[in-house]
Amino acid sequence: MVPGDGIGPEVTTAARHVVAATGVDISWDVQLGGDAAASLGRARVPESLLASIRANGVALKGPLATPVDGETPNTNVAIRVALDLYAGVRPCRRFAGVETPYGDVDLVVIRENTEAEYTGIEFEQGEPATKELIRFIEETTGKRVREDSGLSLRTISDGASERIARFAFAYAAEHGRSTVTAGHKANIMKFTDGLFLETVRRVATEYPEIAFEERIIDALTMQLVQHPERFDVLLLPNLYGDILSELGAGLVGGLGLVPAANHGDELAVFETVHGTAPRLREPGRANPIAMILAAALLLRHLGEREASDAIERAVAGALAEGRTRTPDLAPAGSATATTSEVAEAIAQRIRRS
């Protein structure tokens, strides 16, 4: 358990309360990261935190803060990279009782988590190495890059594309999903997105029971806004997955309703899509549902399917009833509930079931 920063401790406490109501006996190994660790003079991602996840195999993690200084690597990303959590999974499901412009939305964004923009190789504008790289590009390709440019290397490999594709199709098969749609810009970036798409096509032939579609990313974004109910599993390179998972959250009512999982071959970290939300400084205003649903994903991963299903049913029932809502979900002028009150309402439903 990594409580996190900002609203993290509050929503992870709520999730623990709901998990306890299921009767599943979990011993939580609490580890600090982000601001909480830095305030004690530790690294933002302490080795003890990583060692705990490696030893236990799973973690439930609150959002971790990163200073906006242009130098400190993102703390949440650093954990994914250190543990090779290459598959980001974000289920986006619309619940009855949540006001959105859409009807049925039940899609899953599966995102390659470790390369492309997360390769992290950048060249600062004006530096000698940047100028040398600009000259190299012009000499080898004939294409001119402005001298006042900063550069980033976006890498996509066959190996990483293959493993995320296999993960996506296996996920679809295991969870009763019928279609995988790959998003790409292979018409422009032929050697990166093109490689990703070629690899996904190859893997798709091994899963004839799963329908496979491909969409250019800009068209896919438009189609998601028009008809999100037509999509099932979306398979995307890093940046596209980052953007469309946020779009997916918007389709179903906001970041407070969308859980996330990050999987490696042997490890998994469950968390929320939202950040530390410093604007919600007043206790009790944070929506705990995304973290509660992340805990449900963790339980399912551990084989506790009955408990996981009980949490998801209780969340759906509480939202449909509409009496216990944090301010982000409550209609203007209506009564609101605190973070702990929402958690208790969900826990009570589980106990009664």
Q: Is 294 helix (H, G, I), strand (E, B) or coil?
A: helix
Q: Hey, which bits of 6-84 come out as E strands?
A: 58-60
325 within 8 A of 336, measured Cβ to Cβ: yes
Give the pLDDT confidence score for residue 352 in this predicted structure.
Answer: 93
Q: What is the mean pLDDT of residues 48-66?
A: 96
Give the pLDDT confidence score for residue 66 in this predicted structure.
Answer: 85
**For residue 332, is pLDDT > 80?**
no
Tell me 94's DSSP state: P
pLDDT digits (tens, 9 = 90+) for 189-199: 999 999 999 99
Catalytic residues: 118, 185, 218, 242
Segment 123-129 long-range contacts (CB within 8 Å, at least 24 positions apart): 123/150, 123/151, 123/152, 124/150, 125/149, 125/150
Token pair 């759906």 is at which residue? 316
For the structural domain made of 1-99+253-353, what CATH number should be given? 3.40.718.10
Cα separation, 90 vs 262, whole angstroms: 9
Amino acid symbol at 78: A
Q: What is the mean pLDDT of residues 149-167?
A: 96
Amino acid symbol at 51: A
- Domain assignments of the chain as residue spans, ordered by start: 1-99+253-353, 100-115+157-237, 116-155
Query: Residue 79: which residues within 8 A CB-CB, separation 6 or more?
Result: 33, 45, 49, 50, 53, 61, 64, 85, 269
Q: What is the helix, strand, coil percentage profile of the chain, to 5?
A: 45, 15, 40
Percent of the residues in the chain that have a pLDDT greater than 70, as a whole number: 99
- In the structure, what pLDDT confidence band is assigned to residue 10 with cuts at 50, 70 and 90? very high
Q: Are strands 58-60 and 268-272 parallel, antiparallel or unpaired?
A: parallel
